[in-house]
Structure 1
Amino acid sequence: MNFATQSRFSDPGRHGDWLDDTPADIAALRDIASGLVFHHWAGGDPTAHGFEPSRLAEVDLRYAEAMLGRLRELDPTLSGAPRRPTDRILGCCRDFTLLYVTLLRHHRIPARTRVGFADYLLADWHLDHVVAEVWDGSRWRLVDPQFPADNALPVDVLDVPRDRFLVAPDAWRALRSGVLDPSRVVVAPDLVEPFLRGLPYARHNLALDIAALNQHEMLLWDIWGGMNLDPTVSPSDASRADELAALAPSALQAAFADDDLRVPPVIQSLSPTTHTLAEVSLRS
């Protein structure tokens, strides 16, 4: 699979020309991406920062082309200079990462999104997170595009250690072996729904990560195939996840052809803005 080419999700489409003057540099593009999104809950109530309530729908923007179009409307410059909060789109870690991957692929730098859990966002917790995996010419390295360069995180966002961000297969194996405490693996500590914690959500992220390795950069609340909202993981589902988590990335790409993993033309999505499960037809 050629990760230097755009996917149908990362393709900038008619806004590709807007990216032409950005530098073909991993660090500089990370800094640009970090200023394009305002996190829809980590930054507090968006309306307190000047966002109109109607803009909450931006968190469901799925394709980079639509995201870039909205950003271009809000501020037609793409210099990397700080944007006002309301000149960014509302989104989450997935959106910082998708836009970063779009920028990298625009310059033919191989990149892909990885879904998993980070232990550097909040002490003593492994939080649901998405980062980029970038080929730097010699190895795949994890790069976190969400935070500004002057962040106070205890990791180098340009080279996140793999024991600080666990890609979903690694997180699943660590949970199953008892290395990780499932009560500390969550979307957020204050979200108490059983599905959003421990093994159920780790299984969800495993499916998302396998899709990402196959250039399907899905929304974090998408559901398809073998995914569900069950509060526990059945023995058969756990066994299937064990099998998948043991595979190398190349084998996970091959496994994506299986019915329980392959993304179909129509999926379901549980938007955090509407809290309802809706059918979504994907762009072909």
Structure 2
Amino acid sequence: MDPGSADGEHTWWSDPGAHRLRLSELPAHPVAIADNLEEFVIHHAVARQIGFGVPVAAEGDRSLRRVSLLLGEVVRRDARPLSVHRAIENYLYVTCRDFALLAVSALRERGVPARLRAGFASYFNPGYWEDHYVCEHSFDGEWAVLDAQLGPRARAGFRIAFDVADVPSTGWRSAASAWRAVRSGELDPGIVGLASAGIAGEWWIAASILRDAAALAGSECLPWDDWGLSISFRDARRVSPKQARDIDALAEALDPAPRNRQEAEAVLARFPWAAPPDGAFDAL
């Protein structure tokens, strides 16, 4: 693969804005970024699982779309350098998408090609492919998967033995890859989704493909953003035969993934029904 120069440049979503200097407090190495994020970021569901819960003031954290807003909130709660461990009440309470986007932003700030990806991981819930966002980064001219949520405590808790900056395909697969595996009969759609919410199936995977396509093209949406066909998938919780054929064609164009943002934009130009509406998130 040949990651393009655009993937080393910020999007509206990843730009740290007024907090650019604070972002430089994060380390440069991908694994070290994951390690550092664990000092001030926690998944909101994990906070509940460990019995701490989510502070009322942090309930909106997982809806902050932009890195500039995420960094602004963590600095407001504790103005010390991002390399310093926070008290848990001063953490950001977010989703996997935000861990991944913060890593994407930290890498892009150093000119390293990086991009947000939507897909599914097998290492959180044995026997299940759990909805999960990751950061892809350029490594020796190839794309490698960094799971920025797997800091040292998470690695120990989930008994992670692989390099979290180079997650193998047996551990994470893109939404398009999961769809094609389901359609070929290799993968049961009943074990692909969001187990904690009791959600699984082709409709969820199909909606994730649209979000992954958008992210590859530089629109790094929230996990619950829906448009076009994904609204239909959410409402009906099914994929019609015609819709499935359309998703088949899009998934084929995304698996293997486009080499860079420019190629991803070309894919969406071929499938305009898959692209987020112009200006849909500009004011958010």
Residues 134-213 of structure 1: pairs in structure 2 closer than 5 A: 134-150=137-153, 151=155, 152-188=159-195, 190-192=196-198, 196-213=199-216
SS in 1 for 2:7: coil
SS in 2 for 1:120: coil
Segment of structure 1 superposing worse, 174-183 or 75-84: 75-84
**Does residue 1:282 correspond to 2:282, yes or no?**
yes
Distance 1:24 1:45, change over 3 A: closer
Distance 1:16 1:103, change over 3 A: same
Alignment-derived partner of residue 257 in structure 2: 249
For residue 28 of structure 1, report the CA deviation from its aligned partner: 2.0
1-side partners of 2:143 and 2:80: how far apart? 31
For residue 45 of structure 1, report the CA deviation from its aligned partner: 6.2
How many equivalent pairs are there? Answer: 266
**Does residue 1:52 correspond to 2:59, yes or no?**
no
Cα contact 1:142–1:162 (8 A) shared by 2: no
SS in 1 for 2:46: coil
Alignment-derived partner of residue 262 in structure 1: 275
Greater helix proportion = 2
1:232 to 216, 220, 238: 238
For residue 21 of structure 1, report the CA deviation from its aligned partner: 3.8
Alignment-derived partner of residue 39 in structure 1: 43
- Determine which structure has greater relative contact order: mean sequence separation of CA pairs < 8 Å that are 6+ residues apart, divided by chain length: 2
Root-mean-square deviation (Å):
2.0
SS in 2 for 1:105: helix
Deviations along 1:200-227, one digit per CA (max 9) or x if unpaired, are 1100110011011011111000011221
For residue 51 of structure 1, report the CA deviation from its aligned partner: 4.1
2-side partners of 1:123 and 1:220: how far apart? 22
Cα contact 2:44–2:53 (8 A) shared by 1: no
SS in 2 for 1:141: strand
SS in 2 for 1:222: coil
Identity of aligned residues (%): 31
2-side partners of 1:136 and 1:27: how far apart? 13
Cα contact 1:31–1:80 (8 A) shared by 2: no
For residue 261 of structure 1, report the CA deviation from its aligned partner: 1.7
- The unaligned stretches of length 5 or more in structure 2 are none
1:114 to 111, 117, 120: 117
Distance 1:220 1:179, change over 3 A: same
State the TM-score, normalized to the length of structure 1.
0.87
Cα contact 2:48–2:54 (8 A) shared by 1: no
State the TM-score, normalized to the length of structure 2.
0.87
Give the counterpart letter for 1:18 in structure 2: R
